[in-house]
Amino acid sequence: MSGRPRRRGFGYIRRLSSGRYQASYLGPDLVRRPGPQTFLTKGDAEAWLSRRREQIAAGEWVAPAKPAPKASALTFDTYAEQWMRERGIKPRTREGYAYLLRQYLRPFFGDMVLDDISPSTVRTWWAQLPPDKPAVRARSYSLLKAIMNTALADEILDHNPCRIRGAANTPRARDVRPASLNELDAIVAAMPTRHRALVLLCAWCALRAGEVLELRRGDVDVAAGTIRIVRAVSWLKGGPVVGTPKSAAGTRVVSVPPHVVPALQHHLDAMTGEGPGALLFPGRDGVGHLQPSTLHRGWRHAREAAGRPDLRLHDLRHTGATMAARAGATLAELQQRLGHSSVNAALRYQHAAQGRDREIAAALSAMARADRLPTG
């Protein structure tokens, strides 16, 4: 039971809400002396108190040096800066967190001591966030809760003040309607020639745009009909940053549907530079990464031509997942093919589809042919 310290023969032991134990005793100078740290078990706390009692009984006790300022005197600003510095996060995520801290967290919590931030303080802050930005509210709350959870793990706090039920749930902004096969054909035909294979890979292989834009000749095995996803590119402040895929499960080998392979081979032969490091979809200079603004100009024209002005480039990934499900992929196989899962899900699903991924790709091509057969 946490909260109230329990009186013993010598000293006090208190179980914290974190599950650890805090010990203290009255020294010969009648000053209460807490332990230098909390303890994992009650037995550890009792052992520490026993040693102090033995020192006092033997006349060997010496008043401890004046303790350093309590860690709980840390301000939110100072701790958040440390949290960001020590956090192993991707550059794009780091940039997003920095924006949320700058715009929504630091103006309110910046100078507050962590220990002084209570559940009512968090509710007051939450109430003044812009109601017309539900996604920003949810992400800001999630970031605050994550920082406070780390402070709890660091034993700076003994509770997390973020207790607003459902506040971290990001509302679904829109329902995605997958592109039909005819719409997809129209989009591919309307795209610039050098970007048509990009649309095919985003859709039929359900790849992320950042994964496709970092594909290089050495990642493609046309004979095996596979693409190896080991990197992704993101754009920060106008410049490309190459890193690993979005999650651990994002590193994967994806089978290309057989009906897409000829278009991929043509692209490699006619529009890709020599050498394994050549980008499949470079910028106009033929070397650097394709600018998202350049890609999206062609994309906006193509989706209008197909009668789908609502379709985002990222929605092709949703289209690909839907088609794979129609082809008979199980949930585990979809998770592996898309490389989209939590850490636990990655461990569960990562190898599930290796044996069937080629069959799924072949079924996708069969579906494409069947849907295009003339009727009547």
Choice among 8, 87, 314, 372 that is catalytic: 314
Asked if pLDDT for residue 220 goes beyond 60, the answer is yes
Average pLDDT of the residues in 61-70: 65
More confident residue, 37 or 150: 150
What is the band of 344 on the pLDDT scale with cuts at 50, 70, 90? Answer: very low
Q: Are the beta carbons of 272 and 278 closer than 8 angstroms?
A: yes
List 216, 267, 303, 340, catalytic entry: 340
Handedness of CA 214, 217, 218, 221 (dihedral sign): positive
Residue 195 has a pLDDT of 96
Higher pLDDT: 158 or 221? It is 221
pLDDT score, position 12 = 87
Extents of the domains making up the chain: 6-57, 71-153, 181-372
Q: What percent of the chain has pLDDT over 70?
A: 88
Of 24-28, 145-149, 320-324, 338-342, give the lowest mean pLDDT range: 338-342
Question: Taking 90 as the threshold, does the pLDDT of residue 136 lie above it?
Answer: yes
Respond yes or no: is residue 349 known to be catalytic. yes
Q: What is the mean pLDDT of residues 93-115?
A: 93
Check 208, 289, 303, 308 and give the catalytic one. 208
Beta strand spans in 31-169 (E): 32-34
- Alpha helical stretches, state H, 172-260: 181-190, 196-204, 209-212
> Into which CATH architecture does domain 181-372 fall?
Orthogonal Bundle (1.10)
In 3-state terms, the chain is what percent helix, strand and coil (to 5)? 50, 10, 40
Percent of the chain with pLDDT over 90: 49
Q: What is the pLDDT of residues 233-286, one digit of tens each?
A: 988 876 888 988 887 888 999 999 999 999 999 999 999 999 999 999 999 878
Which of 317, 318, 337, 356 is catalytic? The answer is 317
Residue pair 191/54 in contact by the 8 Å Cβ criterion: no
Q: Give the pLDDT of residue 174.
A: 64
Both tokens of 279, joined, read: 């980008």
Question: Could you tell me whether strands 32-34 and 239-243 are parallel, antiparallel, or unpaired per DSSP bridges?
Answer: unpaired
In the residue annotation, 340 being an active-site residue is answered as yes
Digit-coded pLDDT (tens) for 304-320: 999 999 999 999 998 88
Neighbours of 104 (CB within 10 A): 22
Q: What's the mean pLDDT when you consider all of the chain?
A: 85
Taking 80 as the threshold, does the pLDDT of residue 67 lie above it? no
> If you count them, how many residues does the chain have?
376
